[in-house]
Structure 1
Amino acid sequence: MVKIILSGCNGRMGKVISKLANTIEDVSIVAGIDRNTEKSNYPIFASISDCNISADVILDFSRPDALDSLIEYGKENNIGIVFCTTGYSDEQIKKINDLSKILPIFRSANMSIGINVVNNILKNISSLLYKNFDIEIVEKHHNQKVDSPSGTAILLADTIKDTIPDNIEFVNGREGIKKRVHNEIGIHSIRGGSIVGEHEILFAGQGETIEIKHTAISREVFAIGALKACEFMYKKNAGLYNMDNVISNDN
């Protein structure tokens, strides 16, 4: 049984994870962290520094400003962390990477198994298509999402960029009077309603297009991936892990 401290337990994703965890035998949420300490079937603390319950891993679905307190708690209690929060600055990402030298750390911009399969497809095809195709990414999310482009869109764009030898530039949306340059990857963000998450990668060539699209119909897809990550991280050694490790472990 993997015992989990859930940071952001009363947020949208936190509630979905809590509900799903009740149906899985191998995981148990033993404590929650949230500014909203509304009652649950496990104790909830307003700050992780107040948590006095032992666990095997911290699962974080909160906000970037919680990072420092999570790092401090992880160090003090020698406990690994699964970071699912997006919108981190470059400095914060460096802190996470540095932490992985002393603790088992998992970080992924998207916990969906499907989106990570798509990401692996991009690793294999982007360099083959780049010469003859322009590449654009369109991502759609609900109207409460605070960061744009989404962490997933950046993940996909970085994957494409890493496979191409040219100096690739990201363009966040387009405006004005200017021709598209071939070494650009356009990233377009749409916010509205209750869209859970859609990501489409468009390869546009002369007379043909190739579209790869992932649609999250329910937040459960992220919850399933997050809990799988927690199981995967059980008793892992220090290091930096991601969804590729989880997918490989399942196969």
Structure 2
Amino acid sequence: MIRAIMNGCHGVMGHVITDIISKDDAIEIVAGVDMNTENYAGYPVFKSLDECPEADVIIDFSTAKAVDGLLDYCETKKVPVVLCTTGLSEDQLNHVKEASKVDAVLRSANMSIGINLLMKTLKEVAPVLAAAGFDIEILEKHHNRKIDAPSGTAIALADAINESLDNSYHYKYDRSSERVARDPKEIGIQAMRGGTIVGEHDIMFAGRDEVITFTHTAYSREIFAKGAVEAAKFLAGKPAGLYDMADVVG
């Protein structure tokens, strides 16, 4: 039985993951970490990882400001971590890379199988469409409580496209601050927030007299939670290194 710590256990995703794991015979949650230490689902909840019992893997759905402390803990204790928190700074992304040199770290901007297959598809089609003069735009929509914008998934989609184009493109987040024609070498990324939208991403390739759009819509958070649980089962016992969902669904 794989022993997991749920970091951010009282968040929405923490509750969903707790419910999924409660029905999985291959993994169990031995402790949770949250500022609210109320016992929610039969496992103890602590304010700090240092108070937790030994575990085989940590599933993290906390906040960006808590990630550095999490990575420090994982580097010291050598506990693999599935890092699902988004909105990380450049310094924190570098910290992730450093931590993966001594510990197993799986980081993905989006845990769903559909998004990760979409990334693979975009890497195949982007070079063809870009060479044909198509402009590239990404529009993401999320609920009104999401703090970071654009979403980590939108950035990951843009990165997948840009990597397939030799990283020759730059990202454009705001078109209101200057009145200039569109740069052919830019990927526009825009964010919308409202209601209870779980997540929707449109990737538009706009050419002369034709438009191709790829759309992924998440109708429930459960798809991300299921991916995180599968990632945790995959990562437990793995050697140090930086992994992603492509390794899980591979």
- Output the TM-score relative to the length of structure 2: 0.96
- Taking the TM superposition and a 5 Å limit, the aligned residue runs for 1:152-191 are 152-165=153-166, 167-175=168-176, 176-191=178-193
- 2:28 aligned with 1:28, yes or no? yes
Task: Give the equivalent residue in structure 2 for 1:47.
Answer: 48
- 2:128 aligned with 1:128, yes or no? yes
Q: Aligned partners of 1:212 and 1:129: how far apart in 2?
A: 13
- Tell whether the 8 Å contact from 1:173 to 1:189 is kept in structure 2 after alignment: no
Structure 1 SS opposite 2:226 = helix
Structure 2 SS opposite 1:68 = helix
Q: Aligned partners of 1:111 and 1:166: how far apart in 2?
A: 24
Where in structure 1 do 4 or more consecutive aligned residues deviate above 4 Å?
none
Q: Aligned partners of 2:205 and 2:60: how far apart in 1?
A: 34
Q: Which runs of 5+ in 2 are unaligned?
A: none
- Tell whether the 8 Å contact from 1:49 to 1:69 is kept in structure 2 after alignment: no
Q: Which runs of 5+ in 1 are unaligned?
A: none
Q: Which amino acid aligns with 2:180?
A: K
1:35-81 Cα shifts (integer Å, max 9, x gaps):
11122211000111222x11100111001111232123223322111
1:160-198 Cα shifts (integer Å, max 9, x gaps):
111114731211132253221211110010001111011
Q: Aligned partners of 1:177 and 1:74: how far apart in 2?
A: 47
Task: Give the equivalent residue in structure 2 for 1:67.
Answer: 67
Q: Aligned partners of 2:166 and 2:16: how far apart in 1?
A: 41
Q: Aligned partners of 1:80 and 1:206: how far apart in 2?
A: 48
Q: Percent identity?
A: 47
Q: Aligned partners of 1:133 and 1:75: how far apart in 2?
A: 44
Structure 1 SS opposite 2:71 = helix
- Output the TM-score relative to the length of structure 1: 0.95
Q: Which amino acid aligns with 2:108?
A: S
- Taking the TM superposition and a 5 Å limit, the aligned residue runs for 1:76-225 are 76-131=76-131, 132-165=133-166, 167-175=168-176, 176-225=178-227
Alignment RMSD (CA, Å): 1.2
